[in-house]
Amino acid sequence: MSHVFPRHTHKPPPTAVRGAGCYLYDADGKAYLDGSGGAAVSCLGHGDAEIIAAVQEQTAQLAFAHTGFFTSDPAEELADLLAEHAPGDLNRVYFVSGGSEATEAALKLARQYFVETGQPQRRHVIARQQSYHGNTLGALAAGGNAWRRAQFAPLLMDVHHIAPCYEYMLRAEDESAEAYGLRAAQELEDTILRLGPDSVMAFMAEPVVGATLGAVPAVDGYFKRIREICDTYGVLLILDEVMCGMGRTGHLFACEADGVTPDILCIAKGLGAGYQPIGAMLCTGAIYDAIKDGSGFFQHGHTYLGHPVATAAGRAVVRKLLRDDLVARAAWQGDRLSAALTERLGQHPHVGDLRGRGMFQGIELVQDREIKQPFAPEHGLAGKVKAAAFEAGLICYPMSGTRDGKNGDHVLLAPPFIISDAEIDELVDKLSGAIDHAIGSAA
């Protein structure tokens, strides 16, 4: 009997024993093409000798020093690298161990910023429906995924959710993309005005929606208008790039494509590329200075903040991304992946939408393409695609309608940036087969 508490208690998973390049191998020697980088984590693929060496060297030299007493070279140098390449004035970096810790810290930093700057009445958070910001209670409250929130609702703080910018489903037929973006952003202003502008502290959003909709970028102009609205009312803009950041969209920071700089930015997943658990929250100098000149202490923290081995892994990952031009590679191999998906699935009767940026691509499956009618949630279609793909030796990331009646079925692809042309072909072949198999069994 296994004593591990698995994700799905009724179906124990196979044992993964080895990773190399874009593949994982189980104990029976079966190979799986990692088409989703786990959950958009493994940007460099598996078994990268350089990152492994960085982790080993740091472990031998200094495995741990508590940030209550010390800083460390890898933490300082990784912070310098991130601050140097981050947009705008995002020049202070707070290291944590993952995505939920990053978004949780962002919410607390926003609150403390207003307490320290004499606006303690600012307490409301606005976020978006069909978003995911993590599974700790603050992050879960900010997220808008009904299925993930449902049973914990009594424990969650009040967060106000507006619609996401989701062109495929929410743009009216006779509306331009630009007009739609402005209309979607207007809901933020309306909500701020309804709550009372002086009471709102932050708006949180993913630049490209990942875990709930499958790689949905906003239309041009949406985030620029969001930035203007936040500035008008003194509301902090928190962008959650835990999934879409660190080069995945073809930009080191996803918000660069939207031409906006948030006040607080969250990253994780690709920062450690799976070699270590690490996340980070970046904030502007202005926010940092308010705390520095105020209490001088951000009232937050975890034991493993700025962990030397985790930051050494992150430092090696970012150095490699920059040195080997892997962000540009994510952009052009992403275009190739997108073209291959369009060629194979663009006319598929049950593929409603193909979208994404770089190595972050999504597929929306629908029962009826003409009227964009999702499959009934009972089919659990995306889960069936995942199972059929896994059987065929492909890992992809599903979001099934059974989890949230409103969400429909989506498949997220987020392969390592090093994926080859032949591996892209294998991915698209196996995925198309899995979609047809799953739809056949759902019909």
DSSP state of 235: P
Nearer of residues 277 and 408 to ligand PLP, judged by Cβ: 277
Number of H helices, E strands in the chain: 14, 17
CB-side exposure of 64: number of CA atoms within 13 Å?
4
The answer to whether the CB of 25 falls within 8 A of the CB of 18 is yes
- Of the candidate spans 1-9, 235-243, 365-373, 394-402, the one that interacts with ligand PLP by CB under 6 A turns out to be 235-243
Tokens 């593949």 found at: 23
- How many CA atoms, within 13 angstroms, populate the side-chain half-sphere of residue 123? 4
Q: Which is nearer to ligand PLP, 134 or 306 (CB)?
A: 134
Pick the closer one to ligand PLP by CB: 268 or 389. Answer: 268
Find the binder of ligand PLP among 35, 45, 98, 356 (CB under 6 A).
Answer: 98
Number of Cβ atoms within 10 Å of the Cβ of 236: 25
- For residue 268, state whether it binds ligand PLP (rule: CB under 6 A): yes
CB atoms within 10 A of CB 86: 22
Number of Cβ within 10 Å of residue 124's Cβ equals 21
Is the CB of 268 or the CB of 312 nearer to ligand PLP?
A: 268
Binding to ligand PLP by residue 103, rule CB under 6 A?
yes
- The tokens describing 382, both together, are 């995306």
Place of tokens 């590679």: 329
* 202-231 footprint of ligand PLP as x/- string (CB under 6 A): ----x---xx--------------------
253 binds ligand PLP (CB under 6 A): no
**Alpha carbon distance 218, 208 (integer Å):** 7
Give the one residue of 23, 95, 132, 253 binding ligand PLP; rule: CB under 6 A.
132
Least distance in angstroms from the C-beta of 287 to ligand PLP: 20
* Residue closer to ligand PLP, measured from CB, 45 or 98: 98
Is position 247 an interface residue for ligand PLP (rule: CB under 6 A)? no
8 Å CB contact between 415 and 331? no
Site map for ligand PLP, 293-322, x if CB under 6 A? Answer: ------------------------------
Distance CA 442, CA 433 (A): 14
Residue 99 as a binder of ligand PLP (CB under 6 A): the answer is: yes
Binding site for ligand PLP (CB under 6 A): 39, 98-100, 103, 132-134, 206, 210-211, 240, 242-243, 268
